[in-house]
Amino acid sequence: MEIMAQVEIGKQVPDFTLPSGEGVPVSLRDYRGSKVIVYFYPKDSTPACTQEACDFRDSYEAFQGSGAAVIGISPDNARSHQRFADKQQLPFVLLTDAEHEVCELFGVWQLKKLYGREYMGLVRSTFLIDENGVLVREWRNVRVKGHVQQVLEAVRSGA
């Protein structure tokens, strides 16, 4: 998959296809006609990522009621996703982006620093795509507390 530019608010998001935790390919185009929340998280079963996934899980019916699907994406493999989804009873799909192609498309694969060490990693971020595949909102460098509620409010307000 060749990626030219990063996504931009007000522009069509290029289609992408990634394997789910069940190993089934899932494409963004499969969700046309629905709003889609695509959230990127660094690692399955870590404290902040588990909290974020559970917050999305706990608000899942509200998202569905507002006509929105939820997709989680991280570099973890399908087996890790499956274990994580089963353990946390996640009702939405988790996709594997092992090559970071979709992460790069959304501009969330970045140079990070921890304890003076630099490394490439995923920056927790969430994106709202409308029914026509256009990016309408983005939340970058997310803090987990209260975040899912902000996303839900944006979905409900139509923004």
CB 105 within 8 A of CB 7: yes
Residue 49 annotated to the active site: yes
Give CA–CA dist 51/39, Å, rounded: 13
The answer to whether residue 21 is domain-embedded is no
- Can you give the pLDDT at residue 114? 85
CATH of the domain at 84: 3.40.30.10
The answer to whether residue 16 is domain-embedded is no
Q: How many domains does the chain have?
A: 1
Q: How many CB atoms lie within 10 A of CB 113?
A: 9
The answer to whether residue 129 is domain-embedded is yes
- Can you give the pLDDT at residue 1? 43
Full residue range of the structural domain in which residue 144 is found: 34-157
Please pick, among 7, 36, 38, 49, the residue that the annotation labels catalytic: 49
Give me the average pLDDT of each 10-residue run along the chain (159 residues): 71 96 94 97 96 98 96 96 97 97 95 90 96 96 96 90
Structure tokens at 46: 């870590």
The answer to whether residue 20 is domain-embedded is no
The answer to whether residue 19 is domain-embedded is no
The answer to whether residue 126 is domain-embedded is yes
The answer to whether residue 17 is domain-embedded is no
- Can you give the pLDDT at residue 158? 79
The answer to whether residue 10 is domain-embedded is no
Q: At 107, which amino acid appears?
A: G
